[in-house]
Structure 1
């Protein structure tokens, strides 16, 4: 991959989209992870206004620190970048307090994790509306089109997806080329939705390089009978998640009513 050429292409694409849409700039949620660091840096390079939002909800201190350091680096380098920190913890806690009790704690925790992402999405669009900006998504190719590892109408609720054609390893590569801070480059990827230090790999059961292999797997060139036990396990994980999350990756089903019923 020609990193410099890819970076220039994405930056031009982002800038062109804003100009064509008659908007003014970008809002990016910065989490302290590699995807949001790359997306916000690419947005900054357009020269258009960029608002970086940090939106902690019972966030691990390490994530908050990385996000702040990254934003400080961007603001020092790019005069078009500004930032706002909005602590959503009190809002989230009040939301939780108002919910009725449920029998399944596991389902409750999962639903509340997704609620965090949706609360952040609402906040991003609030600020986007104030400034006539667009929300730049931070999802990569494996998450968005492979295993569906994102929250529907949460971090999946965006206006554009600048890095969604990049594998996770390619995201790391571009981030290194752009000089993203070392603390983010070496941090384990995490969605930051659980209030602890669990990584994406802990949740999925496979690393991103393994998932990328599974996403590219072609049985005609590598028969399944030749796979190692770990490769079979990873392929099973990928296939299960890909099938289960098709509702995220496909367009919303529309009920097409027959014309004869409408006359």
Structure 2
């Protein structure tokens, strides 16, 4: 079910770096700011941005973060700073900010709804922090979403990690991101770690939340794009395809433009 990446990593790397340089030049900005999570997407994105020679600010934003996520992110940042003199970093511990928010808003007895709302709140607090830093340094917020997350299952927070200025890797499947990560020599600790959004303060992985691995979802996305339906599959393949279609449908509101109520000219 897994699809092995066939991208030409060196050429794709060069293409994205040139795209980033041209975009920044046209936008007349100094470079990029990126939230570093300890995952492969942010590691690859920040390394691509670093190759532009423009200023790159890597930001750690822990909120009750698991130590292994923090250590992976720190390892990557230190490696990147040694490789690229244009890279700097800052740590913004948002735990107290998050706790202040929790104490200021009403709650409910539905624990599942509260936990999900607070998970998304973490992502939105981080987005606000990135835009603050972007504003004072003249930078663009670089997104770290890949194609499966951004356009397949919508596995991101609306106006959280989905709130960015540009998306360098959003046309790459997760397998492509891993292939590019190998080429860019990001830390093995990141390449081998189970993907997680780190929004719940526990050890749950993306696969735990989604019900399928990225390899499986990538397969389902390609199958759906080729016109397949659930009736074309059996067993695990059918289950994965149905998971993909359910998530793709329920998260369309993230992927489609914000609906605008158009007023008829006769009413104006």
SS at match of 1:217: helix
Partner of 1:215: 221
Alignment of 1:4-153 (within 5 A): 4-153=10-159
Partner of 1:190: 196
Partner of 2:246: 240
SS at match of 1:158: coil
CA distance in 1, matches of 2:225, 2:170: 25
**RMSD of aligned residue pairs (Cα, Å):** 1.3
The TM-score normalised by the length of structure 2 is: 0.95
* Residues 219 and 97 (structure 1), Cα distance of their counterparts in 2 relative to 1, 3 Å cut: closer
Large movers: runs of 4+ above 2 Å? 218-228
* Residues 219 and 137 (structure 1), Cα distance of their counterparts in 2 relative to 1, 3 Å cut: closer
| Structure 1 unaligned spans of 5+ | none
| Structure 2 unaligned spans of 5+ | 1-6
Deviation at 1:24, TM superposition (A): 1.0
Structure 1 residues 221-230 or 42-51, which shifts more? 221-230
CA distance in 2, matches of 1:45, 1:213: 31
CA distance in 2, matches of 1:7, 1:17: 15
CA distance in 2, matches of 1:86, 1:166: 29
Partner of 1:157: 163
Deviation at 1:47, TM superposition (A): 0.5
CA distance in 1, matches of 2:228, 2:170: 27
Deviation at 1:101, TM superposition (A): 2.6
The TM-score normalised by the length of structure 1 is: 0.97
Deviation at 1:226, TM superposition (A): 5.3
CA distance in 2, matches of 1:198, 1:103: 23
Which of 236, 239, 251 is equivalent to 1:230? 236
CA distance in 2, matches of 1:52, 1:78: 12
* Residues 48 and 209 (structure 1), Cα distance of their counterparts in 2 relative to 1, 3 Å cut: same
